[in-house]
Amino acid sequence: MIERHLLKLRARDEISDEEERAIRAVVARAEEVPADKVYIRHDVLLDTCTLLLDGIMCRYKDLRNGERQITELHVAGDFVDLHSFTLKRLDHDIMALTPCVVAIVPHERILELTERFPHLARVYWFGTNLDAAIHREWELSLGRRTAAARIAHLLCELFVRLGLVGLATNKGYDLPLTQTDLAECLGLTPVHVNRMLKELREQGLVEFASGHVDIRNWEGLQRIAEFSPSYLYLERRSR
Amino acid sequence: MIERHLLKLRARDEISDEEERAIRAVVARAEEVPADKVYIRHDVLLDTCTLLLDGIMCRYKDLRNGERQITELHVAGDFVDLHSFTLKRLDHDIMALTPCVVAIVPHERILELTERFPHLARVYWFGTNLDAAIHREWELSLGRRTAAARIAHLLCELFVRLGLVGLATNKGYDLPLTQTDLAECLGLTPVHVNRMLKELREQGLVEFASGHVDIRNWEGLQRIAEFSPSYLYLERRSR
DNA sequence: CCGCCGCATTGACCTGGGTTATCGGCCACG
DNA sequence: CGTGGCCGATAACCCAGGTCAATGCGGCGG
């Protein structure tokens, strides 16, 4: 199942066979995480990283009144907390939005891996920088895009990211989240997400129902979202 | 002037004398950047990084209609584009908000530095992860905080970050930005920023006028912002 | 088979923040 | 030493999205 992770890495850089072997050897064990479980709590000292093999997890922060902001969604192939390798503790929580399977990688092994292969240090450094790029695009959405464009943009992003690891067809993808989950990504209320999903559906752009996203008009969807995948750094380039 | 950068690094980790010498040696040249100049444009291939020595720069993205979202502010001591070392091009623009002085560091030298000192690779990796943590906190602001809390939070963040590099007193700091600049950080309009600054002033929390921030009630300001500096990782810990 | 319960849907109404516009102060520049 | 442009301040009005409430419905434990 680590294949999706390698797909993600190889979409952006060359990974040699030796490096691949070293990456495969780094996983200590696999684990299942039930839906809705808070998997990592902020400010707890960590000594492992978590590679998501299946399911959807999210990073989120919340306010005292309980309002929650999801800051990034993670899909299979993503390290959900690679930044803990240098941060040592996280400034946010991580939870499973669906039932998940994860692989545990001790920091110690990442240390060895990156000291033995400085190139992989840069590949993984790139990985955390990619997360930051996604954060920036979300900041743009949250600060400036209208509700409909925000939703459209998120659905575009997931289409591309899931497609990269073989989890989307050319028509759509599975997304077993609730409208409330989406609202927490988008800085909106569930009610308004529902209204805007209806609008996108009526415009023939996308349909989101029973855990599945149907892309009806990819060009049109990208247009109203002002989506360009450039921030996902899909080109292969040596680090 | 690279001292502020070392202050920033040493607030979070040990930097040996040998490492310090290596860091100092890495700067190729200094440059001045006039206010309002777009210093780096998105999607342009880069082979240097830029260390901000003086002034304030920002990263921003914008929409077709010209609405702009600043995704992070940079102060003296920050690398404004360290992520370009692994990303090779940026997904956003970088501009000077005030007259600035920067030091140019070729990627090549960062490559040598990080291969020679794997510890510094982790220190700088940490640096970009810190930027991501700031992005996440801004996502929370943009998605969930009220306008007044958002402004208060930004002013708190800058107080701490500037204090760290010796650019704040216990009463406040210089911040030669316009209300429009703040609005672009906060996902608000300049008019509303003006209204909310008035409110914060009348509540005796902060005053922002003629390029200077006066903290009138630090406890109260943090309280309404729900500010906690934990996301700035101010503890010293070896990477 | 029943009764919850979580989720989606929709309508009616409200409000935080946006929009537009005007005015005054400051200062760089001719 | 005018004057035009930028910035801050404020007022009047507007609207995107929030709030509140009711309904429906599918899955599931008992």
Q: What digits encode the pLDDT tens for the residues B194-229?
A: 999 999 999 999 999 999 999 999 999 999 999 999
Provide the pLDDT for residue B76. 98
Sorted by sequence, the CB contacts under 8 Å of residue B236 that are 6+ apart come out as B10, B11, B12, B13, B14
Where in chain B are all domains bearing CATH 1.10.10.10? 147-232
Where in chain A are all domains bearing CATH 2.60.120.10? 3-118
Give nucleotides in strand C with any atom < 7 A to a protein C-beta: 6-12, 16-21
Provide the pLDDT for residue B28. 82
Tokens 């060009």, located at residue: A219
Asked whether the beta carbons of residue A135 and residue B139 sit closer than 8 angstroms, the reply is yes
Contact B36, B95 (CB under 8 A): yes
Architecture of domain A142-232: Orthogonal Bundle (1.10)
**Pair of tokens at residue B79:** 């690398």
Does strand D come within 7 Å of the CB of A197?
no
Residues B65-98: tens digit of each pLDDT: 999 999 999 999 999 999 999 999 999 999 999 9
Backbone dihedral angles phi then psi of residue B236, each to the nearest 5 degrees? -85, 130
Taking the C1' atom of every nucleotide in all shown strands and the CA of A193, the nearest one is D17
**Pair of tokens at residue A189:** 């209320």
Helix and strand numbers, DSSP H then E, in chain B: 9, 10
Smallest Cα–Cα separation from A125: which of B111, B205, B172? B111
Q: How far is the CA of B97 from the C1' of D3 (A)?
A: 27
Computed over every residue of chain B, the mean pLDDT equals: 97
Taking the C1' atom of every nucleotide in all shown strands and the CA of B196, the nearest one is C17
CA A51-A48-B226 angle, 5° bins: 90
Tell if the pTM clears 0.95, that is, is over it: yes
Q: Which residues of A104-115 are buried (b: 16+ CB within 10 A; e: fewer)?
A: ebbeebbeebbe
**Nearest-angstrom CA–CA distance, A226 and A233:** 17
Q: Which CATH number fits domain A3-118: 3.30.420.40, 1.10.3260.10, 2.60.120.10, 2.160.10.10?
A: 2.60.120.10
Where in chain A are all domains bearing CATH 1.10.10.10? 142-232
Q: How far is the CA of B178 from the C1' of C26 (A)?
A: 14
Q: Which CATH number fits domain B3-138: 2.30.300.10, 2.40.37.10, 2.60.120.10, 3.30.1490.190?
A: 2.60.120.10
Q: How far is the CA of A24 from the C1' of C3 (A)?
A: 50
Beta strands in A55-92 (DSSP E): 57-62, 68-74
Question: Is the domain covering B147-232 a CATH 1.10.10.10 domain?
Answer: yes
